[in-house]
Amino acid sequence: MEGFQLDRQGDQQILRYLFPPAFGGFSATLYLRGALMEQIDASESVKELLSPELPLVMPLQVHGTDILMADLACSLPERREADGVAISRTANVAVALQFADCWPVILGTSTPEPKFLLLHCGFKGAVSHFVTKALSWACKEWGVEGKGIWAWLGPGIGPCCYARSATGDPWTKRAFESFPSKAVNRLSEKSVNFDIAGAIKAELRQCGLVENRIFALGECTSCNNDIFYSYRKGDVGRRMILVAFFT
């Protein structure tokens, strides 16, 4: 059954992303708040603890919209700037992305062979239509249409907790123009809440993805700070880490 599964590895809470059988042999795990994550102090320890067998591609995330093709040449210690990483079986590497409130987005196709695109998409990414850019890239690169692509989204910060100053902030101004109106909740003159996942889902639908191929874990990282790391809740130095590879 595709979707999500909360699980544990000892003291470490994890979230497994579940893929349909046609995606066979792809593993994606989000390491949540837990003992293992507390041991991570640098990219070397991510490699050591989470990807001991495969070279690890772990880009420097800059809240941009660039996509990196995962291969040996861009694996650690190399760290290129990107917020999207494409992975296929032939690359023979693992990919790691870090999150604390921003939304993980996993896009995949199964034909002619499983291929995935992993995105780190926060507010700036949603304002910049990162998902639309990524899907346009994927359709071209993979030779498929939107309806042939599946998506897994979450967890990330919810509209309940993502407030910004309504005035004097250029990114807020851009969001007023680019977010669907349903994803904007102006609570007062001074403050506005944004539904980042709502904006991302609107992009997925606009790009032709079919409703029953979109899986969203709506859990808010800030509300559920006991399970997830949340930057806004004060987890400044800790991140959840998504590790994905073909088995």
* Chain contacts with Zn ion (rule: CB under 5 A): 158, 160-161, 220, 222-223
Smallest gap from Cβ 160 to Zn ion, in A, equals: 3
Of the pair 62, 160, the CB lying nearest Zn ion is at: 160
Residue nearer to Zn ion on the CB measure, 172 or 222:
222
Which one, 36 or 175, has the nearer CB to Zn ion?
175
Q: For residues 115 and 201, which CB has a smaller minimum distance to Zn ion in the complex?
A: 201
Name the minimum Å distance from CB 61 to Zn ion.
22
35 vs 160, beta carbon nearer Zn ion: 160
Neighbours of 14 (CB within 10 A): 18
Q: How many CB atoms lie within 10 A of CB 245?
A: 25
The CB-of-11 to Zn ion minimum distance in angstroms stands at: 25
Write the DSSP assignment of the chain as a string of letters: --EEEEEEETTEEEEEEE--GGGTTEEEEEEEEEHHHHT--SHHHHHHHH-SSS-EE-PBP-SS--EEE--GGGSTT---B-SEEEEEGGG--EEEEEESSSEEEEEEE-SSS-EEEEEEE-HHHHHTTHHHHHHHHHHHHHT--GGG-EEEE--B--TTT-EEESSS-HHHHHHHHHS-GGGEEE-SSSEEEE-HHHHHHHHHHHTT--GGGEEE---BTTTTTTTS--TTTT-SS--EEEEEEE-
Task: Give the nearest distance from C-beta 132 to Zn ion in angstroms.
Answer: 25
Contact (Cβ atoms closer than 8 angstroms) between residue 123 and residue 85:
no
Identity of the residue, 157 or 242, whose beta carbon is nearer to Zn ion in the bound complex: 157
Question: Nearest to residue 126, comparing CAs of 164, 186, 180?
Answer: 180
At its nearest, how many Å lie between Zn ion and the CB of residue 13?
A: 18
Instruction: Please say which residue, 108 or 159, places its beta carbon nearer to Zn ion.
Output: 159
CB of 129 to Zn ion, least distance (A): 24
User: Cβ 235 to Zn ion, closest distance in Å?
Assistant: 14
**Complete DSSP assignment for 175-187:** HHHHS-GGGEEE-
